Every structure is written in C-alpha cells, then in structure tokens.
A = this chain, B = another copy of it.
C-alpha cells in the first residue's frame, strides 16, 4: 500500500536535493541551485545556511554576476565527514577511506587465505580500517559509517551473506553484526556489484546519469542497476544478477543449477580453463613456455595480458567471452533501456577495450530500440578496487542522496 508524505520528510528530502546539486558541481551559486532544483530562492537560502552552520558546505569563491554583487559559490566541505569501504572478495580484501566528496584518501589491499575464519578476517578488517583512519588523523565522530561489499546473494534485512559462490565458510555469516561489533561504527552491507555501481554514481561515469546498468566482472560476474536515480534491488534484494543470464543454452553447467550462464562461460576460471585446454592441445601461443613450467602459472591475469598483446590463443578465448558479454548487454538494453552500461571489476583489467569495443558494436546494431536511442558503454576508471570505493560511497549515498522512497517510507506498524 502507498504511504503519504509530510513536512519533515519533505524537509529532509529537499536538504539532500540541495546537497546533491552542490556535490555534483565544481562550485555553484544559490541562484543556480534554485534554477536546477525548482526550489524557491528562500528555501535554498535557509537550507544552505543550515548546511554551512553544520560544516557540511563551504563558501569557496565567487562568480561574476550580471549587474549586481558577485555570487558566492558553494562546495561540499571534504572534511565534513568520512566513510570506510571494505570489499570482501573470495581472494582478497580491500579497505579504503574516503572523504565527504567520495575521494579516496587511503587504501589497503591484502590477499586472503581461504582457510581464514570469517570472524577472524572481519576483526582484521576492523583493525586495518582503524589504523588507516588514525594515520589520516580522522576523528571518530566524523566517521559516518562503514560500507561492506560482499559477493551476493545477501539477506540485507539480517545483514547475512547467504550462500556466496565458491566460499562455503561464508554461508550465513552475520557480517553486519560482526563488523559492527569489531569496528564500532554503523555498518551497511551490500553485494559487490551494487557497491561498485553506487561508487560509479557518486564519483564515476554514473555521476549525471539517472538510469544505468553495471556489469561487474570480478571472481564471479554480477550486476547492478540505477533506475530512476536509485539502486533497484528487487523484492528479495537480488536484482541485477546478469551473471546468470543464459548466453549459451546448452553450455557449461553453472553452480546456480542452470547451464550456459554468462558467469559459467566468462568468469576468470572459465577463461583460464578454456585457454588451458588450447595449450594442452599444443596450440602455438606466447603462453606455451609458461604453461610448460606449470599450468597454474597461466592464470587469468597472464591470459588477459597475452590477449592484449595479440597472442592468438588468448585473444580467441577473450574474443568469444567478449561476444557473450555483448549478448548479455543486448539483453540488458532490450529489457532495461538504460542510458549507460558500465563495465567494471578486476576481471576487465588488460582486456577492457576488447570487451568495450565488442559490446559497443553489438549495442549499435542489435537492440530493438537502437534507432531511438543507443546505449552508451563505459569502462569504470575508479581506483584499484571499485567495489571498495563503492562500499564507502554507499555510506555517503545512504546519508546524503535524495531518495524519493524516503519521502513516502511506510509508517511503522503498517
């Protein structure tokens, strides 16, 4: 059922509208904010005064004005608030600290032993985060909270990682509760793809885009979507599982129970397996000497590097993967009709251009509505680990992004 709205909800919403106008600009005047948002000059003035009093916004310069006195420009105060982002990946953990503008101030990466107990790892993450904050001299009361990005699916209501692929120890881990216990800040948990998309929205290609999809190529393949200015999560918070779009109906069995899923055909493990098969058959490749020293040495990174450098065997496998990704992109275009598709995640390293070119070509020639509108493709350029930066952005987003859902949140007990 629908809920009504009221003045307090409206007030909070408008504050965030003003703040997001300032956030998206490189210095903006009160008059321009009023023009952009449709709020009255008086409302903007009252809100800005409060934001300045609270130290969230600063007057940072002035713009020439036609006739009158110069207009003061406003910027977000970077030191107004900080957030921590933690990305738990099956193989490594990344931790970043960002300021109020979403800029990365410090980061730490470490490889993980699969034998590590989740609770031990979470404790360790909390220690690293506190050390990063201490080194930066960030006072605890300026830390808005911690975002944690994990492989999905996630039960957000309980902060549980429910059944992550390839990581049995993490089944049913109450990550939100544990992390909150060890780190002593508020915690938001989301899957890695949603985190990366929020990061992209906050400080990447998605900044001025209200509808975009994110195809997240990590150890597995996930996805996320910003629809009408908000992450769309679905009823059980598991929307955007583009990795389980079937691209080859009779293809490789997938752990999900289906066959030929994008992830089963295109994950780093699948790519590595396919190249190993070629090399075992004795195909001529720049990777052959490495393979003869030990198959494990020809890993996903080595393969992507070889493909980028023109090795035929690696390139053929990567080209096929690019075609499957393009098939999925066309399905995303036909179903979601978004403005932008962002390709990101660690598995695009070295091969991003190959993927981008093939996807671009498919999106120009195959979606039904291509004549009305062509979906744009971009490769994420965020940091070394977009999901960690995104996890930190989740905290800023939850606190400061205008969210129409909050205007009409369901009353308690309804």
Q: Does A373 make an interface contact (CB < 8 A)?
A: yes
Q: Mark A28-44, 1 if CB is under 8 A from B, else 0.
A: 00000001111110010
A25 to B: closest C-beta gap in Å: 10
Docked Cα-Cα span, A246 to B368, in Å, equals 12
Known contacts being A258-B366, A369-B153, is A244 close to B38, with CB within 8 Å?
A: no
Docked Cα-Cα span, A372 to B153, in Å, equals 9
For A88, the chain B residues whose CB sits under 8 A away are none
Known contacts being A2-B17, A37-B2, A38-B3, is A236 close to B410, with CB within 8 Å?
A: no
A378 to B: closest C-beta gap in Å: 15
Contact of A20 among B2, B24, B249, B335 (CB under 8 A): B2
Known contacts being A2-B402, A232-B228, A373-B235, is A330 close to B249, with CB within 8 Å?
A: no
Is there an interface contact between A339 and B235, defined as CB atoms closer than 8 Å?
yes
Is there an interface contact between A13 and B4, defined as CB atoms closer than 8 Å?
yes
Contact of A372 among B4, B21, B232, B238 (CB under 8 A): B238
For A354, the chain B residues whose CB sits under 8 A away are none
For A237, the chain B residues whose CB sits under 8 A away are 337, 372
Docked Cα-Cα span, A402 to B5, in Å, equals 11
Known contacts being A37-B2, A366-B256, is A335 close to B245, with CB within 8 Å?
A: yes
Number of interface residues of A (CB under 8 A): 81
**Overall SS of chain A's interface:** loop
Docked Cα-Cα span, A230 to B232, in Å, equals 12
For A37, the chain B residues whose CB sits under 8 A away are 1-4, 411, 414
For A4, the chain B residues whose CB sits under 8 A away are 13-14, 17-18, 37-39, 43
Docked Cα-Cα span, A106 to B336, in Å, equals 35
Contact of A5 among B10, B234, B241, B405 (CB under 8 A): B10
Q: Known A-B contacts: A5-B5, A5-B17, A38-B411. Give 5 more (CB < 8 A).
A: A1-B36, A3-B17, A5-B407, A38-B414, A407-B407
